[in-house]
Amino acid sequence: QTQTFHRIIGGEECVPHSQPWQVALYYFSDFICGGVLINEWWVLTAAHCIQSHLQVALGAHNKTNPMGHIQYTYAAKICPHRDFDWSTYNNDIMLLKLASQADINDRVAPIPLASYLVADNTKCLASGWGSTTSPQETYPDNLKCVSITTASNSVCQASYPRDTVTDNMLCAGNMAGGEDTCVGDSGGPLVCNGELHGITSWGDFVCGSPNKPGIFAKVFNYIDWINNIMQNEAPCRVVG
């Protein structure tokens, strides 16, 4: 069961509202995943975060302390990738259409999608409210950020069992261990050079293990899919 645990290990609290595209997803009142605002109407997240109903919180830093600034809505349309594979986590990407348009301000803003394939050894930033310890879990109230470095797929493939890392996946971590994404960071962003290059997907059971980088859905591979879904709003499940 390597594929259910995602937390930010070794990171630190983000500068409040420095990641204005960061979204929190809830199933009723339970926080389950992160997400990323890509325009006023659409959030990108991981397909394995799917639920029958998803509440969306935008503009949060301390997710337990709303302070009147958080925008709450829900996913009116839920559009997982039709080729998402629960056993391999290949194509672990999903779009959510918001029930009401995000109000863009200094706390809530979309991030541009990847316009190129990110190079190996690029410093990137992951963020989330996932557990900060592993394997016992400790969940922070404030958004955490961690700087991690992209690794080549061949390095990554050598770190995990055969054929588990596909070309639709991007790897990033610190090979010495100690810094990684892990539980509750799923669906959140990996930002490189101001663009969204990854959606947090999976990793090793004990997060931050040496030579076990985190695995992200490679956003650049899905640009056409994203644009197509946003244009046609199909295939999506409409939430009544």
Which residues are designated catalytic?
Answer: 48, 92, 186
What's the helix, strand, coil split of the chain in %, to 5? 10, 35, 50
Q: What is the separation, in whole angstroms, between the first and last Cα of the chain?
A: 33
The first and second tokens of residue 233, run together, are 């709003």
> 235, 229, 188, 222: which is closest to 57 by C-alpha?
188
What is the C-alpha to C-alpha distance for residues 193 and 12, in angstroms, rounded to an integer?
A: 19
- Phi first, then psi, for residue 48 (nearest 5°) are -75, -5
- Phi first, then psi, for residue 96 (nearest 5°) are -125, 125
> 111, 115, 42, 49: which is closest to 77 by C-alpha?
42
Sign of CA dihedral 146, 86, 21, 53: negative
Residue 148 · residue 124 · CB < 8 Å: yes
Between the alpha carbon of residue 225 and those of residues 12, 44, 111, 195, the distances in Å are 33, 12, 17, 17
Contacts of 16 (CB under 8 A, 6+ apart): 61, 142, 143
What is the C-alpha to C-alpha distance for residues 160 and 100, in angstroms, rounded to an integer?
A: 41
